[in-house]
A and B are shown apart, each in its own frame.
Chain A
Amino acid sequence: MYKLEKRPNPSNLWAYLTPFLALIATMIAGGIMFWMLGKPPVDAIRTIFWDPLFNEQFAAYSRPQLLVKAAPLILIAIGLSIGFKAGVWNIGAEGQYVIGALCGAAVALAVYPLEAWWIFPAMVTAGAVGGFMWGMIPAILKIKLGTNEILVSLMLVYVALELLSSMSVGVLRNPDGNGFPGSRNLQQYASAHNAEIWQGSSVHWGVVAAFSAVVLAYVLMSKHRLGFQIKLAGAAPKAARFAGVNPHVITAVCLGISGALAGMAGMFEVAGPAGQVSIDFASGYGFTAIIVAFLGRLNPWGILAAGLLMSLTYIGGELAQFIIGLPASAISAFQGMLLFFLLAGELLVNYRIRRAAPRTVKEAA
């Protein structure tokens, strides 16, 4: 008989160890799944985790891709993690990401073909404001009417996706595009293009923003009074009120920050790697970022590592589809396993498994 016992203090050792254990357990369980699909498990795991970084044939292409994919994940996850710490559950980052992209692109398309230095900064601002406003909808509804922000923010994702479709065939459609859906390609518009900062590095402004967000979030959460109040509101709402924290302010701040960061991520994506507003622009970064936030244990540095890891499984997953023909859904299941094992391992931080003591007391006859 084994049983769980609550630890008097959360274990630091396990807090650091669980992500690694989860990774190993995922490799084992994923390997079994690949084997059952009739694919060589060791090759598959190596293709996902090793080849994108070190295979001579692919690494040159996939290594820079790592940052391109990780940047939006990290940027969004940092915002989400701040809210999650406060117990404000923004599940709708995908919607805020889309709205940010639409707003950012709209600024560029409105002034096209003007070339000016201020266009890109204006797009960044518009993206952030768009995401912020979209995030404020669930915040205001929660504050004024007590609605659940999980439901409202999630439903707003679908509203945002409809807006995206309508925009890419309507107002933002490329007038020179022969009627095809989708906007002008911003990669061909120098003032609006979120281009590589150094040739061949694939580091664009979104990557810079993601790294800055990590540092700023770390400073906010561990050094600043507002960060303390956010953590307190999540950990003990009544104690937070006692301390003088206004829960409405915290709700608005958290949804605002996460919305703005998701909006910025969308804007960097549409002006860079994606290039244009199109019907299939939304690629699920906003949802995957939830996994990244938890995989990183809601800690900024953890999120940095988790974002890179998640990005690796994306790129490696694509490689595995391409080389060994793994189905895409198997890759999704593999990523799901990672979250599953991580959450299971989380238990060990606050609980310990103990063998129930052998019973010395005899049962009554």
Chain B
Amino acid sequence: MTPPLLTLTGLTKSYPGVVANEDVSLTIARGEVHALLGENGAGKSTLVKMIYGLVTPDAGQMVLNGKAFSPDKPSTARTAGIAMVFQHFSLFGALSVAENIALGMENPPKMRALAQQISKVSDQFGLPLDPSRIVGDLSAGERQRVEIIRCLLQDPKLLIMDEPTSVLTPQEVDILFETLRKLRDAGTSILYISHKLEEIRALCDTATVLRRGKNVGTCVPRDTSARDMAELMVGTRLHDPERRDRPKGATVLDVTNLSAASHSAFGTSLKNVSLSVCKGEILGIGGVAGNGQDELLAALSGEIRTKRGMISLDGRDVGHLPPTSRRALGTLSAPEERLGHAAAPDMSLMENAFLSAATRKALTSLGFANWGKTRGYADEIIARFDVRTPNNQVAARALSGGNLQKFVVGREILQDPDVLVVNQPTWGVDASAAAAIRQALLDMADAGKAVVVISQDLDELLEITDRFCALNEGRLSASVPTTELSVEKIGLMLGGAHDLETANV
């Protein structure tokens, strides 16, 4: 048997107050796809940052190709043959593909030679990409290809991919997996970070599971059920959200031909969006990020004001009203970006509870804040949604992503809205917290409220929604009952083939 490519022994890294990694050991063989699984805050990022030279371990050894390896900066790691594709791309929208790739190189070749290399690598690994295109015009999937090709040009021995599929359509995921398999067959090892268990089962040869910074087990994903892996990750048994048949009531939220420009220069404007939601119904809106999701939520929450007659709530025209008035009338929302949009990072949970609940929970009198009552409300959210925090005076940024998400969603649900709009309610949230949030959304519908779930997680939409529509370049497809859908059909809807009948042929 050939010696392993990379061996980690007893890696430990602690930050003040937390041990991010404790005595983690794992082995990556040559030419294998190795999954790194774990909840948020389990220490996956810290571990790969140590391998990539962004973080120095407190203790432990790494051995690469039989030699001791301790990168002090990413360029050392790159020289040693390690490449990484980050979850968030670092590309310049105004430059071409080739120019972006040249920017990341130590000694870039002439542009024409580089373009040839790019074309060669993209052919070889089945990643269609034109080197002369401007990155700003590319889809998320194509942008990711730029990042992957940038890595492949270094001819890496180990490619690290951090949650690569979170921004892709199912078809794009298939293309990516094909590429990764080709790479593996060519002898490159891949360290694949994800919490999507089905993907890991489809792609990976070995999986290492981290929980609270420790390696809690290794398994062969093909032979292990997704449920078993999830339970290994969480450490407890999982409960599937319960879904009950419920009667559909009258239409509450009605959106007609909504067109609105985005706040941001790089945003997507909404074009002729029409939708309606009834009491006791969950409407799912799928779509790849950046196709107008943020704008749709902003238009429904009142952050973007629309012309009259476009949005009505219980028959009342509300499109021109600001967020505070919409809240008073019963429309609440939870935006995707937790830190900075749904919550102010440097403010305490108490202040963040006040942020959106001041009006509906009557936390003010004559304009003066009632901090005692606000504290009580924050504590109620913390208790009811199992937010793990020492107290309500902790800054929002100190909470882990999943905990903060529970707080943000809980803050809106406990205000008892008539219509709740959430964008990416479980993005980056660990399995048990995600299940709790989905259950809370289902409970709301059971109680006769209208819920709009905007999400890129198709499994989530299939699991909890009653009707589904797809958002593509700011246009919304007609809705389809979720029970009549499969992941493949959804994928086609997301790609813009709105007419399912044609797409089915």
A contact set with B: CB distance below 8 Å: 5, 7-10, 223-226, 228, 231-232, 235-236, 238-244, 246, 352, 354, 356-357, 359-365
Contacts and interface: CB of A to CB of B under 8 A. Distances in A.
Interface stretch (B64-72, B175-183, B253-261): B64-72
B364 interface: yes
A225 B361 CA distance: 14
B369 interface: yes
Given A361-B70, A364-B67, A236 B340 contact: yes
Interface stretch (B144-152, B240-248, B347-355, B466-474): B347-355
A7 to B, nearest CB: 8
Nearest to B371: A223
Given A8-B398, A236-B345, A352-B16, A225 B358 contact: yes
B88 interface: no
20 contacts: A5-B16, A9-B394, A9-B398, A223-B368, A226-B367, A235-B345, A235-B346, A235-B347, A238-B341, A242-B303, A246-B322, A357-B56, A357-B58, A360-B57, A360-B60, A361-B68, A361-B70, A364-B67, A364-B69, A365-B67
Contact of B364 (A8, A225, A243, A352): A225
A274 to B, nearest CB: 37
Residue of B302, B354, B368 ringed by the most chain A CB atoms within 10 A: B368
Residue of A5, A9, A361 ringed by the most chain B CB atoms within 10 A: A361
Interface of B: 15-17, 56-62, 67-70, 301-303, 322-324, 327, 333, 335, 337, 340-347, 351, 354-356, 358, 364, 367-369, 371, 394-395, 397-398
A135 to B, nearest CB: 23
A362 B355 contact: no
Nearest to B303: A241
Contacts of A235: 344-347
Contacts of B356: 242-243
B15 A364 contact: no
Contacts of A243: 323, 355-356, 358
Nearest to B348: A9
Nearest to A232: B344
Given A228-B369, A236-B345, A359 B395 contact: no
Given A235-B346, A235-B347, A360-B58, A223 B369 contact: yes
A225 B367 contact: yes
A243 B411 CA distance: 13
Q: Which 8 A/B pairs are nearest by Cβ-Cβ distance? A: A244-B323, A244-B324, A361-B70, A236-B344, A8-B398, A238-B341, A239-B344, A243-B355
Given A236-B340, A238-B340, A357-B58, A362 B70 contact: yes
Residue of A232, A235, A238 ringed by the most chain B CB atoms within 10 A: A238
B70 A363 contact: yes
Given A225-B364, A239-B340, A361-B68, 5 more contacts: A5-B16, A242-B341, A243-B355, A352-B16, A361-B61
Given A228-B354, A244-B302, A365 B68 contact: yes
Contacts of B344: 232, 235-236, 239-240
Contact of A244 (B327, B341, B346): B327
Nearest to B341: A238
A2 to B, nearest CB: 14
A361 B354 contact: no
A242 B335 contact: yes
Contacts of A5: 15-16
B56 A359 contact: yes
A238 B338 CA distance: 11
Nearest to A223: B368
A246 B371 CA distance: 23
Contacts of A244: 302, 322-324, 327
Nearest to A238: B341
A364 B58 CA distance: 17
Given A9-B394, A359-B70, A361-B61, A224 B16 contact: no
Contacts of B322: 244, 246
Contact of B70 (A7, A10, A364): A364
A238 B323 CA distance: 13
Nearest to B335: A242
Contacts of B364: 225
Contacts of A223: 368-369, 371
Nearest to A356: B56
B302 A364 contact: no
Contacts of B342: 239, 242
B341 A239 contact: yes
A243 B343 CA distance: 9
Contacts of A359: 56, 70
B68 A362 contact: yes
